[in-house]
């Protein structure tokens, strides 16, 4: 479980996160959602320990996250950053097993884990020796996911992992990711700006605005019981966008029939 109490973070006097309090339950998927600049990516960086809160506390499975404990606790987390963050000069294999090499895993153990991850993510093992530029966008995201899972972490933290992909690849990866989350039963925190994606993946949605957590709950609670006008407007705009995106497909099916 991940617990934040009264967490705030500012940069040069500009508030990024303000008095955030939330719980991401163990073995469940939690989505952080909100408009650009709402603080969701900063909040994820605080949970990973890449940033230190100005005030408040963060606990990882009951252990306090501090600058001193951050490195140790971070090894219990897999982290997928925006756009994957692969090293372009390393092959897919080297990108994935970079931390296992640093920790001294023997070759046999690394290769066995790579085989497991290729099967889990449906990544072709023949492509492991290609460089990121030789892979498709979807393959690069699968490599980023495998790197995050290489050490078999307790938690998986993902910052807009599908944001840069075209709709067809994104839909395919959404299905695979949901299946992976269910099979692994890890604690997952996912940042997205897409309410439909949040509803698809998450047991709990945390909606942010201007650095504040404005509402927490399942998708139905946000739709049926908005906590404030912003929630109502955000949900309305998101549902309108989903309807507009689905309209061409609906019209095409009608013509075909």
What CATH number does the domain containing 193 carry?
Answer: 3.40.50.300
Residue 103 lies in a domain: no
pLDDT of amino acid 219:
95
pLDDT of amino acid 164:
66
Residue 163 lies in a domain: yes
Residue 219 lies in a domain: yes
Contact 56, 18 (CB under 8 A): no
Residue 45 lies in a domain: yes
* Low pLDDT (below 70) residues in the chain: 164, 247-257
pLDDT of amino acid 170:
83
Residue 226 lies in a domain: yes
Residue 245 lies in a domain: yes
pLDDT of amino acid 252:
52
pLDDT of amino acid 102:
95
Residue 54 lies in a domain: yes
Residue 135 lies in a domain: no
Question: How many distinct structural domains can be found in the chain?
Answer: 1
Rounded to 10 deg, the angle between the 107-121 and 167-184 helix axes is 120
pLDDT of amino acid 171:
84
pLDDT of amino acid 61:
93
Spatial CA neighbour of 21 closest among 3, 47, 39, 46? 3
**How far is residue 131 from each of residues 68, 69, 139, 184, measured CA to CA in Å?**
35, 34, 11, 27
Domain interval for residue 52 = 2-76+153-256
């Amino acid at each position: 479980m991940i617990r934040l109490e009264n967490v705030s973070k500012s940069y040069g006097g500009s508030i990024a996160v303000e008095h955030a309090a939330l719980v991401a339950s163990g073995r469940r998927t939690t989505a952080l959602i909100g408009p650009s600049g709402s603080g969701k990516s900063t909040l994820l960086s605080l949970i990973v320990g890449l940033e230190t809160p100005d005030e408040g506390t963060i606990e990882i499975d009951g252990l306090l996250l501090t600058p001193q404990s951050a490195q140790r606790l971070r090894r219990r987390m897999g982290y997928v950053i925006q756009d994957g963050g692969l090293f372009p000069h390393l092959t897919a294999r080297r990108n994935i097993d970079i931390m296992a090499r640093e920790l001294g895993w023997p070759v046999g153990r690394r290769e066995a884990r790579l085989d497991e991850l290729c099967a889990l993510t449906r990544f072709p093992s023949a492509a492991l020796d290609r460089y990121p530029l030789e892979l498709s966008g979807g393959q690069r995201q699968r490599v980023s996911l495998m790197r995050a899972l290489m050490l078999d972490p307790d938690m998986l933290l993902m910052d807009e992992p599908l944001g840069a992909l075209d709709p067809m690849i994104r839909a395919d990866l959404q299905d695979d990711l949901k299946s992976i989350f269910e099979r692994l039963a890890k604690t997952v925190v996912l940042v997205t700006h897409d309410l439909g994606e949040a509803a698809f993946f998450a047991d709990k949605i945390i909606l942010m605005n201007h650095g504040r957590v404005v509402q927490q709950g399942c998708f139905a609670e946000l739709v049926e019981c908005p906590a404030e006008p912003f929630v109502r407007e955000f949900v309305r705009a998101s549902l309108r966008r989903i309807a507009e995106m689905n309209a061409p497909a609906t019209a095409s099916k009608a013509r075909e029939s």
